[in-house]
Amino acid sequence: MTTPRSIDDLKALISDRNPGEPEFHQAVGEVLDTLDPVLVRHPEHLDLAIVRRIAEPERQIIFRVPWIDDSGNVQVNRGFRVEFNSALGPYKGGLRFHPSVNLGIIKFLGFEQIFKNALTGMPIGGGKGGSDFDPRGKSQREVMAFCQSFMTELFRHIGEHTDVPAGDIGVGRREIGYLFGQYKRLTNRFEAGVLTGKGMSWGGSLVRTEATGYGTVYFAEEMLRTQGESMDGKTVVVSGSGNVALYAIEKAHQLGARVVTASDSSGAVYDPDGIDLELLKQLKEVERGRISEYAERKGGAAEFRSGRNAVWEVPADVALPCATQNELDEDAAITLVKHGVRVVAEGANMPCTSAAINVLQRAEGTLFGPGKAANAGGVATSALEMQQNASRDSWSFEYTEERLRTIMVDIHARCRETASEYDRPDDYVLGANIAGFSKVVEAMLAQGVI
């Protein structure tokens, strides 16, 4: 096989080797499109196949997950763990339980995780996993049965020095508890550092639940500071109503902003008075209801709006997409820009399409923060949980949140400094990609061709 001599050659090769995985192609292409300046400075990276090695997972694990439902029927799901890159430390990344999960989705998430984890400055590599199992509508016993079956295979591939999974969509503290219990049963070890996102009474960390949402808002505020502004007084639109969205709303409110939207797969709620967070948490965290119920209960000016782009049609200073991949398309980006959006920071993983990112980056007066930088707070706090587990310690909420804030400020500074080094100071995509890439490459070169 001939050695690729350009970014286009690399993209073609990776696409050919990974057919039928559009999300993975999108994630790889987004990174590769920013690496031309690096390869001009370091053409030897092509000769050493550095980019090809980074884009090829070190290990891909696919397995059957059989379990018995409450009716006595045998169900069969598919489990995944992609251990992408361990140059900086043990593989680290969440588990996603959702019907949309397939190998391409997990590879896109794992690839992004490499650079996100590198940006945190913590000693963690990149990985991701999950299953096409849907916990929605399942009983507690069914969720436990699935998690125990899933871990019965996964346990042989993970460990606190090997691979440390966490939660993601569909995997919260309940699922992490069942997974950890089965791991402990199978290994006869209370290895607290093998999973993060645990309950506080058995090795968890304060701020872990809030970390991704809080971190996204901290990053957005740092972006505003480059323009001499802050979150105080800003109108903010947030998509989603899961863990990331809820705590992005909470932190934005604490910093003086007014968040006016939230959403789920059925549509969005617009509340010009500001989202009532306690009502939203009751609906989504306790009752697991639909977002349309918010407008019914809140009354007043609150209204439910259907449609894919309902959130992005509301004029705002700051937009935080916090739901899922490719939720904010080109039309939505054009609408946001037309309404004068100042900052767009990704709380979810790759929520903006490539076309949307192009619109946002070209718009005068608009700054765009990619997820691998803006939503790194979750994995950063997971790494802080690993530190506490290793030292058999537990930190206060205030101390842990201050560590999180410092990490997010440092990530923002690293992105800006790297982008400025390449004469593009406002290009957070280029800054994040090159800063993360350079850190991983340094470790890979030191460790040889492995």
User: Which residues lie closer than 8 Å to 396 by C-beta, 6 or more apart?
Assistant: 206
Distance separating alpha carbons of residues 389 and 393, to the nearest angstrom: 6
Tokens representing 393 are 């310690």
Tokens representing 111 are 């690839």
Check whether 382 is labelled as a binding-site residue: yes
Active site residues per annotation: 128
Check whether 113 is labelled as a binding-site residue: yes
Check whether 116 is labelled as a binding-site residue: yes
**Other CB atoms closer than 10 Å to residue 391's CB: what's the count?**
9
**Other CB atoms closer than 10 Å to residue 25's CB: what's the count?**
18
DSSP sequence for 263-295: EETTEEEE-TT---HHHHHIIIIIS---THHHH
User: Which residues lie closer than 8 Å to 211 by C-beta, 6 or more apart?
Assistant: 247, 377, 378, 380, 381, 382, 404
Looking at residue 276, its amino acid is D
Determine the length of the chain.
450
Tokens representing 350 are 């790759």
Check whether 243 is labelled as a binding-site residue: yes
Phi-psi region of 267 (alpha: psi -120 to 50; beta: other; left: phi over 0): left
Answer yes or no: are the C-beta atoms of 200 and 206 closer than 8 Å.
yes
Distance separating alpha carbons of residues 212 and 322, to the nearest angstrom: 10
Distance separating alpha carbons of residues 82 and 127, to the nearest angstrom: 6
Answer yes or no: are the C-beta atoms of 38 and 438 closer than 8 Å.
yes
Check whether 265 is labelled as a binding-site residue: no
For 325-423, where are the E strands, in sequence order? 343-345, 367-369
| Binding-site sequence positions for substrate | 92, 113, 116, 167, 382
| Binding-site sequence positions for NAD(+) | 212, 243
| Binding-site sequence positions | 92, 113, 116, 167, 212, 243, 382
